[in-house]
Chains A and B, each alone.
Chain A
């Protein structure tokens, strides 16, 4: 046991590091720029929480997803770390001011890239020395990552403005191409790369093709005989999640709920806690569920649709088996399912016609239009709008709140169009690769590993459906029913809540 281990036990209460953590932490403590590619569930948070306690200066953690950030911050604070704060768009102005006033040199601040772009915030942050600049889910930085966010492209400037502190970028899924992009976009100086295999040997990979949507559903319902719980069922749409939860209830599986981004915040949290505390066996969800959910005993992840890439698939199935025990992922699909991800990709980019109408319809004769107005007139959605504004700004087509329509000519539109077309093609190719891997005859695990630039897998047992694993091999278990639970009336419930019985009855 060396010094790092001693501190681990004293400060964090862990007996030992998980694979990869120690090397990454050591590199960060050495003051180097570090890129860490760690599989989901490997304990990424410790990789920056640990150094943040050891180095002098503020630790800034850029986190891409609001719900993920909130989950992380509340989990860390609940575990007793009160030096953790967050800044994001959900906070009111006075709350932001409060957070900024509370920051100390040893604080850890989670912040959204958008918020970090604000000059006011940057000015405030400059009153603290920044000791470490962390970028979580760093694949978002790459335009080939699965969730291109233009605000991420400005991070390198922010980092510079904050005195170029050492940088730690973390991700679970990065092809060699994405890896290069991250290093470049963050201006990392001869970074140390710690790459660990995306392979999760304790998760079986099963894909089942069905003939049509009806058969797919039948196959899934039948599989409930084998599926071990707790389980997540991913659907492509919100309605899909609701319908599947309904179906399960009809089949007598009552300890289930659905979860999607359209629900109220309060209800989403309740469902998440119920699942965390094993009060639910199955949760039916869209991809809005899962990122910040720290549940180690998920036994099965089911997809009832085709994810749009191997990256997305790996991220989602990686929520199973974090405790290291044997777990499974099951993907049910039909040939028609391909339309959903392909439509989704198409909708991400403006078409040639749209660009023409938006910028060359001649509605505005004085050569400029307020950006907000244009957005309103054509009802351009937020995501595409942000992406578009980024490129317009880069091409000097924006002056304050105004878009300089006079400067936008055919040549410019052609270039934009060409660019978007290329990006779209790339995403379609990534989907095609994933589809191939699902449809093909070869080992899925090896195909995924090679996709991420790794050696093929040597796993012999419990590998994947192409290697002979069948649905019927799975171990059923864990399904309970509401009916078994006692239902108490309000007065008994209230009493049980406030007056724990000493004999362990509560």
Chain B
């Protein structure tokens, strides 16, 4: 078994048998839907979310079917849970795999920040190391036109000379890499493409990482996460690198559509009015509210559900250790709506994370 199995089983285990395989898939891919955003908070999956963006549904389904076949997981009414055998397998895998220090899926993968930053950084390194040798023609290491354009503009508009650019880039990378264990620093430099050598693929670099390319990739990404963290914390020391992300750091995990709904809500419109103004279904607006409630602590939750109902929902959820809406609704036995239960559950997350 390899890293992908560890990752999938970990997610499924954290979902406590309360979600379908599809729910787990959306978390791996980092779907920007209210349901996924809520699940991430409910089941403490912030470090993991959005980490497997390249995984296809086909390959995911293949894995799930394989697990069911060999008895690692059980599919009960479209809810997936780990079997005893699966739990054992996972605890064995835990001895080998883990998310490296500094890894934060929700902050850097889900938002796409790591990808943009690395694309720009690797192209700038390629450009500067060529320019310093007066080689003006090379095939770019990324084919992304947006990245190419950004880097071209950056190089055109920077007041620094090529030598100054080189010095800043070298010093800032050196300063950062010097804080890492050398195996990690080597992994980083081996990925860079310069006139001296082309970057290596994760397959070519996986020897030190249980010969597991995906694990190597996650390890590499964790290095970029650390770098991003350092850069945002110490903008002065990382003057050049911080410029690579200054136009994207403000990316929040609220969808554009939910922001639109928020504006109307702040103007004092009721749910039904927002539906009319925006021409959207009730369920969509409700999804937006859930998104907003998770991301914004000042969301007027009591406007939609009374304090006592919130407490009741949370009591049931913790007593029966469940987050299944239908179950909670049946237990409460009154006319509380699913939307209200979901709203109440956003508070469950807050309390447990504080306490």
Chain A positions within 8 Å of B, measured between CB atoms, are 70, 74-75, 78-80, 91-92, 95, 98, 257-258, 263-267, 269-271, 273-274, 276-277, 279, 489-491, 493-500, 506
Contact = CB atoms under 8 A, between A and B. Distances in A.
9 A-B pairs with least C-beta separation:
A490-B185, A267-B201, A498-B170, A497-B194, A490-B189, A273-B198, A493-B189, A274-B198, A78-B139
Interface string B119-131: 0000001001100
A248 B123 CA distance: 32
A111 B177 CA distance: 42
Nearest to A493: B189
A269 B170 contact: no
Interface string B162-197: 000010011001100110001001101110111111
A273 B193 contact: yes
B133 A490 contact: no
A269 B204 contact: no
B203 interface: yes
A270 B142 contact: no
Nearest to A96: B145
Contacts of A277: 198
16 contacts: A78-B140, A257-B204, A264-B54, A270-B193, A273-B141, A273-B198, A489-B186, A490-B188, A491-B178, A493-B190, A494-B177, A497-B196, A499-B170, A500-B132, A506-B133, A506-B196
A325 B170 CA distance: 42
A506 B195 contact: yes
Task: Name the residue among B182, B192, B203 with the largest chain A CB count within 10 angstroms.
Answer: B203
B138 interface: yes
A494 B143 CA distance: 24
B198 A490 contact: no
Contacts of B215: none
B137 A79 contact: yes
B200 interface: yes
Contacts of B54: 264
Interface string B135-169: 00111111101100100000000000000001001
Contacts of A493: 186, 189-190, 196
Contacts of A269: 141-143
B219 interface: no
Interface in B90-115: none
B199 interface: yes
A494 B197 contact: no
Contact of A257 (B143, B166, B201): B201
Contacts of B203: 257-258, 267
Tell me the dominant secondary structure on chain A's binding face. Answer: helix
A473 B200 CA distance: 35
A360 to B, nearest CB: 28
B202 interface: yes
Contacts of A497: 125, 129, 189, 192, 194, 196
B174 to A, nearest CB: 6
Nearest to A485: B197
B271 to A, nearest CB: 32
Contact of B189 (A91, A271, A273, A494): A494
A279 B192 CA distance: 14
Given A264-B54, A273-B193, A494-B170, A74 B143 contact: yes
Nearest to B115: A266
Contacts of A273: 139, 141, 193, 198
Contacts of B197: 279
A490 B139 contact: no
Contacts of B178: 491
A490 B182 CA distance: 7
A506 B248 CA distance: 36
B161 to A, nearest CB: 14
A498 B182 contact: no
Contact of A490 (B129, B166, B186): B186
Task: Name the residue among A80, A270, A273, A495 with the largest chain B CB count within 10 angstroms.
Answer: A270
Task: Name the residue among A70, A92, A490, A495 with the largest chain B CB count within 10 angstroms.
Answer: A490
A79 B170 CA distance: 27
Contact of B166 (A264, A496, A498): A498
B146 A95 contact: yes
A394 B338 CA distance: 49
A267 B214 CA distance: 12
A330 B182 CA distance: 44
Nearest to A242: B203
Contacts of A279: 197-198
A267 B188 CA distance: 15
Task: Name the residue among A80, A258, A273 with the largest chain B CB count within 10 angstroms.
Answer: A273
B143 A70 contact: yes
Nearest to A487: B186
B137 A78 contact: yes
Task: Name the residue among B128, B192, B198, B199 with the largest chain A CB count within 10 angstroms.
Answer: B198
Contacts of A267: 201-203
A91 B138 CA distance: 22
A101 to B, nearest CB: 13
A80 B177 CA distance: 35
Interface string B200-212: 1111100000000
